[in-house]
Every structure is written in C-alpha cells, then in structure tokens.
Structure 1
Amino acid sequence: MTTTTAAPPEEKAAAPKKSRKKLIIIIAVVLLLGGGGGYWFVLKPKGAEDGPPEPGTVVPLDHVQINLAEGHYLRLGLSLQLTADAGGEGHGEFDGSKALDAAIDVFSGRSVAEVAKEGQRAKLKLELVHLLEERYHGDVMDVYFTEFVTE
C-alpha cells in the first residue's frame, strides 16, 4: 500500500494570497512612482529650478520723515533693487508707496538708540526687505538706505 501525502487545502490557498499581496504592493509602488514623476515633470512649481532672481533696475524713492519715540524723528531715503523680470521697470511706472508705508510700519515708534545701533539697523532692514518681498510679490529683492538721519 502506498501512501501519498497530499498538502492540506489550507497550504494550497495560502500560496496565492502571498502572490496577490506581492502584486498589490508592486502596483502601489508603481503608482506612487508614476504620481511622483508626473508631479515632477508636469505640476512642479516653475520657480523651484530658477535659482536666485537676477537684479534689475534700482528705483530711488523720495525720502520720508518717520516719527520715533520721545519726539525724535528719522529722515529715511530708500532705493529699491527690483528683479530683472519685475513689471514696470521705469522710474515713472513703479509705485513706491507700498515701500514707504512698509518703512513707516517698521521704524515708527522706535527709540533713536534702537534705529542707530548697527546690528539692530541691519535687523530692521532685513524686516523691511521681507515686507517688501511680500507686498511687491517678489519684484523687490533688496533695499538700500540712501539717507538715514536721526534727530
């Protein structure tokens, strides 16, 4: 009498389940890679590969007097460094009112010592540059103080 050992039905059913799991994982990985590739080539933001903006024209603005603390004031002259692709590059076309308003916001009410100190002035200038980048939607890349007198 010969006996044959047959695999129980549970083992036969287990083999296809493993290959299905493997197939599902492979399909999921392929879909994720395809989605990532599609984003990279089609939907990627255009500014991501451009690098830093190229400098354009420098637009001088009229000076402004800003009230400081304790009855003092700051006479501030500004020039704005525009990017090369900024709209309205001509001096007559560029509206500097947002820049002057931002300067007033940054410097108003501060003490003379605070605005005159070298390190603090650099921090205030950096704050002003960030405000201008937001208000001009990236068209202004730097600001230069052409006049800075406190009294």
Structure 2
Amino acid sequence: MAKDEKDKAAEEAPKKGSKKKLIMILVIVLVALGGGGAGGYLMFAPKSAEAEEVLVAGIVVPLDAVTINLADGHYLKLKMTLQATDKAHQAPDGSKALDAAISLFSNMDSKELLTNDGREKYKTQLKEKVIKAYTVEKEKEIMDVYYTTFVIQ
C-alpha cells in the first residue's frame, strides 16, 4: 500500500512541474508579444501633420486696441499682437484678427472671461480662428496670438 502511494505521488509530481513550466512559458511569450506590440505600434504609428510642420517665427505685428460689448453690460478692452511665420510675405493686416476677436467675444458674459481658465479657453479658440483666417494655400502666415491688454470694465 505504501508503494502504491509513492507511485501515485511520483506520477503527479511531473504533471505539476510540467504545468508550471507551461504557464511560465506562456507568461513569458505573452509579455514578449505585449512589449513588441507596443514597440511596433509606436514605431509604425502614423505621424500627425502638425508634428511634421515646423513653423519658424517671423515678424511680430501689434494691433490697435478694440473695445467689445459684453452681454452683461460690461466692456472688454482687448489689444493683441500677432506672431507671423516666416511664410508671411508682408506684415499681416490685423483686420481679420480683430474681426475674429469681435465675433468671438461679442455678447459673451464677463464671468466667463474673468477666470484664467476661461480666458485661456477663449484665447485658444481665437488663435485657431486667426490662424485659419490667415492660412493661404495651406501655408500658415500666423503662428500665435498674444494678449497685450485684456481689461474688463
């Protein structure tokens, strides 16, 4: 009887060992595939158009201040400067940028603009509109917009 128990234990030991080896091999293979998959994705991931385009700063164009009526009876005095790219053949006329600012901020509530987050949110929107307005044949003439005066009364 003792011999039969030893034989059973001897038969079960290799089975347990082989299962452990199989699990370890599977884990190693999965880790290797996971790492290779992530590396392969990063290597062959499509590059964005913005990453390829490098804008070189050109001239800086300060614009006249403009006063904009806000919705709650307040006024916004805004003066901004445009950062042109080297692709701008001449100093950009500020009329498109001022028009974009007036259309964005007109009838807006002053509470939205009094916080830093609100001001930055709408500056980003203004920058997008200005860049779009000054893009000619897929060449950007403006790369940034700077507030030089931003006063709410």
Which TM-score applies when normalising by structure 2?
0.62
Q: Deviations over 1:95-151 (max 9, x none)?
A: 110000000011111111111110111110010111011110021110000001101
The secondary structure found in structure 1 opposite 2:68 is strand
Q: Deviations over 1:67-106 (max 9, x none)?
A: 00121110000100000121213xxxx3110000000011
In structure 2, the CA distance between the partners of 1:73 and 1:142, relative to structure 1 (3 Å rule), is same
1:135 matched residue in structure 2? 133
Percentage of pairs with the same residue: 45
2:22 matched residue in structure 1? none
1:80 matched residue in structure 2? 82
2: CA distance between counterparts of 1:134 and 1:60? 19
1:101 matched residue in structure 2? 99
2: CA distance between counterparts of 1:54 and 1:48? 13
Q: Report runs of 4+ in structure 1 exceeding 3 Å deviation.
A: 47-50
Question: Residue 110 of structure 2: which of 109, 112, 135 is its match?
Answer: 112
* One-letter amino acid matched to 2:127: V
In structure 2, the CA distance between the partners of 1:49 and 1:114, relative to structure 1 (3 Å rule), is closer
**Unaligned segments of structure 1, at least 5 residues:** 1-46
Which TM-score applies when normalising by structure 1?
0.63
**Unaligned segments of structure 2, at least 5 residues:** 1-48
The secondary structure found in structure 1 opposite 2:80 is strand
2: CA distance between counterparts of 1:49 and 1:79? 25
Q: How big is the shift at 1:49?
A: 8.5
Q: Tell whether the 8 Å contact from 1:107 to 1:115 is kept in structure 2 after alignment.
A: no
Count, aligned residues:
101
Q: How big is the shift at 1:51?
A: 2.6
1: CA distance between counterparts of 2:64 and 2:128? 20
